[in-house]
Amino acid sequence: MKAFFEVLEQLYRKVLLGATLENDSHDYIFYLNPAFLDQDCSTTTSSDCSNILDVQGKHQPSSVNLATPSVAPVCLQRHFQMNSTREIMLLQLTVIKVMMTRILSVETELHAKEKYRDIIKILLKSSDIDSKLTCMFQNSDKLLSHMAAKCLALLLYFQLKEKITLSNSWISFCQKNLSEYSESDKVVHCLWMLTFVIKEIFKDTCSQKTEILKQFLTPFDTIFEVFYNSLFSQHFENHQDTSKLINSLICFLELLELLIASRIHLKLHFTCQRMLFLKPSCVFDVITWPIQAFVKRKFIIFIKKCLLCKVGEDLCRGSVPTFMAPDHPLDVDLLALADAVLQAVDLGFLRTLSVYGKPSCFGGDEVQPGCECVPGPDHVILRAASLLIIRSLEIKFQNGASANEMKVDLQRFMSELLTFLKPHLQPSLRSHNLCEWLSRVFIEQDDDMLEAAKTAMGIYLKLTRECEATESLTQEKEMWNHHTHENGYNPHCIFLFLLKNIGFDSTVLLDFLISSETCFLEYFVRYLKLLQKDWDNFFSICKYFDITESKDNVNICCCISSLVQDRSSNQTEPSSLAVLGNHRDAHAWVSWASEASSEPLNHAVMSEEAQATLQANSLSPQRTSQSLVDYETSDDSEEESTDQRLANSRLTSLHQEAMKKIQDTIGTSRDKKELSLESQSRSLVPKESNTPFSVDCDIGPNNIASKVGISYRTVKCFEELQGAIYRLQKKNLFPYNPTALLKLLKHIETIYNRSMTPL
């Protein structure tokens, strides 16, 4: 046995290094053939071990001399033989696994790879290794069981690649154990091996992986559906040992994700790939079970990835295409899943979610003695639930619905979502602008945040097209504008909150544009196109942001409304964002605010002056944007500095003019403390016509906030982004052609400059 082990060990070292084997292939089969893998090691007797070694000794190749074990009393040899037998079994499995890995590796030398392939083919033909390994992974020894399952999975994948017919014994074994759910470990082993093989097919770079997967799934298409119904019909409360059920759920969920991914990315069409879409309620039932929070989290994330068509992305080699070819059957199934999500929300799905729990950390969820556990919500659940709802709404709206139906659904489900989110967001959402919810919920997850922003904009554009076709009156458009803010999906507010969160840093936007891990490019291009058409609405919202920021992010309407209500019980306070539709609406809101009380507005003016001074310092022309380009020479650096100064000159002139007016305003306010309400109103929004409510009234260049406020900082950020993209493109460092994007950014700058130029 010792000599046998030593030969195996030498073989293992050679294969591990990828060395070419010199002997005849059949000689190695003797050492790799698992002659005793069908026996449970824990019950193997000493006589069994001796018989095994005798058989191997009689059939060993003549070129190899194996020493036979010395005769000794059975009572002294039994423990040693059992341990030695186990070690040999493990080493045999390890050599097979490493040899299979070497065959599949592109780094293995061709001649050595051919030798390994020949050995494995002979092993498959000369011994019933599939059946032996199938028996082996039912062993009570967990390590042996795991190694046998892994070896069998690799051999199955090898047979698929080499177009060798799969073992009937293994297929029958899986079909039998998956025909109905049982608490046996065999179910988990079958699911694990099926999942492993499909993962290997996904990771393969060959062009025939679709045909390989089709061959593999064909025997299991019907049986998967049977197991789906059996597993999800279980009653969690009736199971004494719930760990086996949880293991089966997790393993099957992973397999289900791969089946759906193969439909999306490999364009296969099996019934088993549609199980979730045909019977989605089964999966939602699991989330309502009294089961551990991590299981619910996995299921919610799984449904989210299905709705976003993101399943299996981590397994696809290379970049996943942003735009996929139309797939009508898949669209129908996604609509069915979206309807199931919205129906579950109607039935109180959000109220069943366990948002609070132990924090999930790399080191576990147990808090050490003496350490404080900071309570807080599970933001993974909050993000997933939010995306579930808004993505489901978008899918439903894309598949045909009237404008009124969409408005009703949007108001109902967004109200449900915001009610669910508000208790978990600290500090709480400000009622004057509910669009902030998106940036607050997704602040820690860039990819989900951008998916949510893109989805919200998709809903907005769909409703806008429908409303433009049916509504023409100004009053109806103002109501529609109010609807976007009230339900938290106005794209301008969402984008401005995103910019505020990143500090208007163009380098962050550049990182997003270069990264292939988010959908920012698609979202950004769509938003810039919207911004070109909807500049007036954007500018009005920027005015509102400037005014609210002037009181250190505290809405001045809250202060004013109490004073207004004290003066007249019949007068009601208008919603602060309901009147924002164009420049005229911004005038109306500020005029109303100025008439309400002079004291809060005085404070607002002074706060705005102070804020403008701070913004002026941060936007000083001496501030240069951080470059992402490594310069080859100092001349390049000087050239960039010159280009940057020239590029900044247009906005800098406006900035300097604004600074002068700020200083003049501050000096005047010190001398004139008793400023009239009318002059205060003009200091915020200058009047260019006889009435502030004139439709033709526009915000002129004398407005301080329009030059150093949100709109200025946004355009400044875009201009810096233009410069960075241009420099990278000039060095051939930008990953794609940005010409169209640069044109959009340039056009936005032109629109801004035109709006700032006096008529």
pLDDT at residue 183, rounded to an integer: 77
Q: Check whether residue 223 and residue 274 sit in a common domain.
A: yes
Structural tokens at position 496: 């401005």
Q: Check whether residue 354 and residue 479 sit in a common domain.
A: yes
| % of the chain residues with pLDDT over 90 | 42
Residues 572 and 662: beta-carbon distance below 8 Å: no
Residue type, 556: I
pLDDT at residue 657, rounded to an integer: 52
Higher per-residue confidence, 601 vs 725: 725
Is 150 buried (19+), middle (13-18) or exposed (0-12) by CB count in 10 A?
buried
pLDDT at residue 718, rounded to an integer: 96
Across 423-429, average pLDDT: 82
DSSP state of 42: G
Q: Check whether residue 396 and residue 457 sit in a common domain.
A: yes
Task: Please check the confidence at residue 412 and state whether its pLDDT lies above 90.
Answer: yes
23: left (phi over 0), alpha (psi -120 to 50) or beta: beta
Report the domain count for the chain: 4
Q: Is residue 302 part of a domain?
A: yes
Closest C-alpha to 150, from 111, 105, 92, 108: 92
Q: Check whether residue 400 and residue 411 sit in a common domain.
A: yes
Is 230 buried (19+), middle (13-18) or exposed (0-12) by CB count in 10 A?
middle
Paired residues of 377 in beta bridges: 356
Closest C-alpha to 473, from 588, 581, 587, 590: 581
Higher per-residue confidence, 79 vs 242: 242
Task: Please check the confidence at residue 570 and state whether its pLDDT lies above 50.
Answer: no
pLDDT tens across 662-706, in order? 445 434 444 443 333 333 333 333 333 333 222 233 333 334 433
pLDDT tens across 195-221, in order? 999 999 988 888 788 999 999 999 999
Cα 682–chain centre separation:
47
Distance CA 700, CA 567 (A): 33
Q: What's the sign of the alpha-carbon dihedral 508, 513, 515, 516?
A: positive
Q: Is residue 478 part of a domain?
A: yes
Structural domain including 189 reads: 168-316
DSSP state of 733: -
Categorize the per-residue pLDDT at 138 as very low, low, confident or very high, splitting at 50, 70 and 90. confident
Paired residues of 356 in beta bridges: 377
Cα 171–chain centre separation:
36
Structural tokens at position 583: 């420049």
Higher per-residue confidence, 655 vs 736: 736
pLDDT at residue 367, rounded to an integer: 57
pLDDT tens across 515-564, in order? 988 899 999 999 999 999 999 999 999 998 888 877 654 443 344 344 33
| R_g over Cα of the chain | 34
Of the listed ranges 435-444, 473-482, 553-562, the least confidently predicted one is: 553-562
Structural tokens at position 450: 């951008």
Q: What's the sign of the alpha-carbon dihedral 680, 686, 690, 692?
A: negative
Structural tokens at position 288: 């309502």
Which of 119, 146, 165 corresponds to the end of one domain?
A: 165
Task: Please check the confidence at residue 446 and state whether its pLDDT lies above 60.
Answer: yes
Is 714 buried (19+), middle (13-18) or exposed (0-12) by CB count in 10 A?
buried
Categorize the per-residue pLDDT at 489 as very low, low, confident or very high, splitting at 50, 70 and 90. very high
pLDDT at residue 38, rounded to an integer: 41
Higher per-residue confidence, 327 vs 370: 327
Q: What is the mean pLDDT of the chain?
A: 75
Closest C-alpha to 488, from 440, 434, 448, 429: 434
Higher per-residue confidence, 81 vs 227: 227
Which of 122, 137, 165 corresponds to the end of one domain?
A: 165
Residues 504 and 717: beta-carbon distance below 8 Å: yes
Q: Is residue 587 part of a domain?
A: no
Of the listed ranges 71-85, 127-141, 421-435, 606-620, the least confidently predicted one is: 606-620
Categorize the per-residue pLDDT at 222 as very low, low, confident or very high, splitting at 50, 70 and 90. very high
pLDDT at residue 360, rounded to an integer: 55
Task: Please check the confidence at residue 246 and state whether its pLDDT lies above 80.
Answer: yes
Q: Omega into 427 within 30° of 0, i.e. cis?
A: yes
Q: Is residue 678 part of a domain?
A: no
Across 11-38, average pLDDT: 83
Q: Is residue 688 part of a domain?
A: no
Structural tokens at position 623: 């501030």
Q: Which helix (H) or strand (E) holds 148?
A: helix 142-161
The HSE-up count of residue 167 (CA atoms within 13 Å, CB side) is 20
Residues 40 and 55: beta-carbon distance below 8 Å: no
68: left (phi over 0), alpha (psi -120 to 50) or beta: beta
Closest C-alpha to 416, from 334, 462, 351, 483: 351
Higher per-residue confidence, 352 vs 595: 352
Is 146 buried (19+), middle (13-18) or exposed (0-12) by CB count in 10 A?
middle
Categorize the per-residue pLDDT at 227 as very low, low, confident or very high, splitting at 50, 70 and 90. very high
Structural tokens at position 521: 């490019």
Distance CA 704, CA 227 (A): 67
Structural tokens at position 320: 């996943």
Q: Check whether residue 439 and residue 521 sit in a common domain.
A: no
Distance CA 124, CA 128 (A): 7
Closest C-alpha to 121, from 165, 186, 88: 165
Q: Is residue 416 part of a domain?
A: yes
pLDDT tens across 300-349, in order? 999 999 999 999 887 765 555 555 667 888 999 999 999 999 999 999 99
pLDDT at residue 374, rounded to an integer: 60
pLDDT at residue 666, rounded to an integer: 39
Q: Check whether residue 153 and residue 173 sit in a common domain.
A: no
The HSE-up count of residue 430 (CA atoms within 13 Å, CB side) is 17
The pTM is what? 0.75
Distance CA 99, CA 112 (A): 10
Q: Is residue 71 part of a domain?
A: no
Q: Check whether residue 143 and residue 1 sit in a common domain.
A: yes
Residue type, 535: W
Which of 139, 165, 191 corresponds to the end of one domain?
A: 165
Q: Check whether residue 212 and residue 305 sit in a common domain.
A: yes
Task: Please check the confidence at residue 491 and state whether its pLDDT lies above 60.
Answer: yes
Distance CA 468, CA 675 (A): 44
Q: Which residues neighbour 729 within 8 Å (Cβ) at sequence distance 6 or greater?
A: 738
Q: Check whether residue 149 and residue 192 sit in a common domain.
A: no
pLDDT at residue 756, rounded to an integer: 83
Higher per-residue confidence, 708 vs 169: 169
pLDDT at residue 369, rounded to an integer: 61
Task: Please check the confidence at residue 386 and state whether its pLDDT lies above 80.
Answer: yes
Q: Check whether residue 244 and residue 288 sit in a common domain.
A: yes
Distance CA 105, CA 120 (A): 15
Q: Check whether residue 84 and residue 180 sit in a common domain.
A: no
Q: Check whether residue 379 and residue 469 sit in a common domain.
A: yes
Q: What's the sign of the alpha-carbon dihedral 451, 456, 457, 458?
A: positive
Categorize the per-residue pLDDT at 33 as very low, low, confident or very high, splitting at 50, 70 and 90. confident
Q: Is residue 385 part of a domain?
A: yes
Categorize the per-residue pLDDT at 24 as very low, low, confident or very high, splitting at 50, 70 and 90. confident
